[in-house]
Structure 1
Amino acid sequence: MNETSFTNNKEYFFANMSNTLNNTFDKIFQPLLLDSNFHSKSMIILDANPNIINTLSIENIKRLLHIFIPFIEQDQGYNELILQILQNDRLSDSAFNSNIIDLLNYNYEQMTDNQTELWITIVSKKICSQQQITQIKSDYIEHVLDKSNFASQKFQEVFELCNNEFLYSSLINDISERISDYDYTISNPAVLQLKQLNENFINSLSINNINNIIYSILAGNQGYGREVGFLLENIYDKPFYRRYIEETAPTFNTNELNKMLTYNLNDNTFINFVNMMTKASEDFNIKFIKISEEYISKNSDVYNSTVLTNCINELNNSNPKL
Structure 2
Amino acid sequence: MTGVVTGFSIILIVILAGMVLAATGVIPREGARYLSKTAYAVASPALLFMTMSHGDPSVLASKAAVVALTSAAISATFFILLSRLFFRRPLAETTIGVTASSYANAANIGLPVATYVVGDTSAAAPLIMLQLVILAPAVTAALELGVRGRMDVWGVLTIPLRNPLVVGTVAGVLVSVTGVTVPNVISAPLEILGGAAVPLMLMAFGITLWGRRPLADADLPPVLTATVIKMLFMPLVAYGVAFMLGLEGAALFAVVAMAALPTAQNVQTYAIWFGRGENIARDVALLTTVGCMPVLIAISALLT
- TM interval, shorter chain, is under 0.3
Quick check: which has more Rg, 1 or 2?
A: 1
- In the superposition, the TM-score normalised over structure 2's length comes to 0.19
- In the superposition, the TM-score normalised over structure 1's length comes to 0.18
Which protein has greater RCO, CA pairs closer than 8 Å, 6+ apart?
2
